[in-house]
């Protein structure tokens, strides 16, 4: 329709060429603005992509030393050997723990015949004692 109107001289040619040049100029400005916006946002998006790739590339490797594992098993078996009927509860972690007992002789046994060193002894109630120990 535009060509028809243009060719039949309904609209002056100068007006049509002026409109076309304005459209081209507007489109060039728009492309320029989009390029500037792209250059501003590109570094941020590249950083996000790098962070995403670096997180996915790092794989955590877990290795166990066989000698360490055997020594832990021996340590646990040694600790379990000291548990007897007089001990109510025995909490042990990271070479220290607590022992709850009702018998004073058990406290003497822990002190003299085991590899545990007694840090503190607390009386919970009339019959129960809480002993904090460290494994040496």
Query: Which residues does 116 contact at the CB level (< 8 Å), separation at least 6?
Result: 82, 110, 133, 134, 135, 136
Mean pLDDT of 18-35: 92
Same domain, 84 and 113: yes
Give the confidence band of 7 by pLDDT, cuts at 50, 70, 90: low
Whether residue 129 sits in one domain with residue 75: yes
Range of the domain at 39: 2-57
Provide the number of structural domains found in the chain: 2
Percent of the chain residues topping a pLDDT of 70: 71
The answer to pTM > 0.75 is: no
pLDDT (mean) for 42-52: 83
State whether 51 and 80 are in the same domain.
Answer: no
3-state secondary structure at position 61: coil
Strands 116-123 and 96-101 turn out to be: unpaired
């Amino acid at each position: 329709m535009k060509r028809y109107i243009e060719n039949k001289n309904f609209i002056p040619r100068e007006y049509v060429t002026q409109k076309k040049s304005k459209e081209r100029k507007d489109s060039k400005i728009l492309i320029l603005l989009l390029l500037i916006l792209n250059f501003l946002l590109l570094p941020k998006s590249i950083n996000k992509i790098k962070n995403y790739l670096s997180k996915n590339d790092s794989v955590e490797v877990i290795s166990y030393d066989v000698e360490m594992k055997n020594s832990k098993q021996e340590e646990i078996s040694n600790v379990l050997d000291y548990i007897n009927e007089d001990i109510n509860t025995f909490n042990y972690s990271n070479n220290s723990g607590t022992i709850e007992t009702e018998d004073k002789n058990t406290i003497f046994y822990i002190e003299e015949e085991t590899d545990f060193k007694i840090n503190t002894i607390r009386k919970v109630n009339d019959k129960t004692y809480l002993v904090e120990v460290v494994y040496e």
